[in-house]
Amino acid sequence: MKIKSARTVIAILVMAWHLAGLPHRAYSLTANEENTIRVYETVAPSVVNITTSACDPEFFFCSIPAESGSGSGIILEEEGIIVTNHHVVARAESIQVTLSDGRQKKGQLVASSVEDDMAILRIDPKGSPLKAIVLGDSEQIEVGEKVMAIGNPFGLGQTLSTGVVSMTGRSIRNGGIVLRDLIQISAAINPGNSGGALVNSKGELVGMNTAILSPTGANVGIGFAIPVNRIKTVAPGLMNQWGRWVGWILAGLLVYWIFRRVYRVR
């Protein structure tokens, strides 16, 4: 009887010890799940939701927006520089940016490139620095590598989907423009994900979600992202429009000087 009583006491003590630790998880997460959660918590503050409105050109003063759209964006600089797709903000009369903490800011279009399907927006953080995303290297990604897409599908902001790199170097035609050297992914991409972040297991940006291949208009497991290395190449020129104009002016002056020299020789 004493042995049974001792076992009972021990069982009660063990149960009490477990209950004292409530709330506790009934199961443990896998290493892959823990990585996904950690990456999402790190990257989500660097991804924004974008809402646009456009006016009907047949009406004056734009008193009533004719249509609206939604997309995503990625914070490149703490001062309020955001990159997104050109098609997200094309024809937009007004742009509203919603941060991960719920703050809403008016977005200003700095510049846009149709050929690269890329646009730069600027918002005023008003003394509260934003969290810029960490840029990775898209040349280093491999087929089969785990990737995570964060964006604003169907207006449901801060949504995460996971998948793998299905292939690299893809070219697709999107709205009359041929986008080359894209990353093909299996992570779910839907309308509104455009302009969102594609990150690796380190939380580094490897691409910007851009398009899907689907007969229904919704995700069927074939999505495409612009490589981050192209963002590194194109974005600085879009942010520095004055530098681009200076380049064209200098080129024009050079042509004029050559023309004058040739003309004088004759």
213 CB-contact burial (10 Å; exposed 0-12 / middle 13-18 / buried 19+): middle
Cα–Cα distance, 248 to 254 (Å, whole number): 10
Q: What b-and-e string marks burial along 240-256, b requiring 16 or more CB atoms within 10 Å of the CB?
A: eeeeeeeeeeeeeeeee
pTM of the model: 0.79
Cα–Cα distance, 94 to 77 (Å, whole number): 22
Say whether 137 is catalytic: no
Q: Which residue in the list 117, 138, 161, 166 is annotated as catalytic?
A: 117
Domains of the chain: 2-33 (no CATH), 42-122 (2.40.10.10), 138-235 (2.40.10.10)
Q: Which residue in the list 46, 72, 87, 112 is annotated as catalytic?
A: 87
Say whether 87 is catalytic: yes
Instruction: Report how far apart, in Å, the C-alpha atoms of 220 and of each of 35, 143, 148, 169, 214 are.
Output: 25, 19, 16, 20, 6
Q: Which residue in the list 100, 138, 161, 194 is annotated as catalytic?
A: 194
pLDDT tens digit at each of 266 positions of the chain: 555 566 665 666 656 655 555 455 557 999 999 999 999 999 999 999 999 998 765 555 555 555 688 999 999 999 999 999 999 999 899 999 999 999 999 999 999 999 999 999 999 998 888 999 999 999 999 999 999 999 999 888 899 999 999 999 999 987 778 999 999 999 999 989 999 999 999 999 999 999 988 777 667 779 999 999 999 999 999 988 554 554 556 667 777 767 766 766 55
Residue type at position 85: N
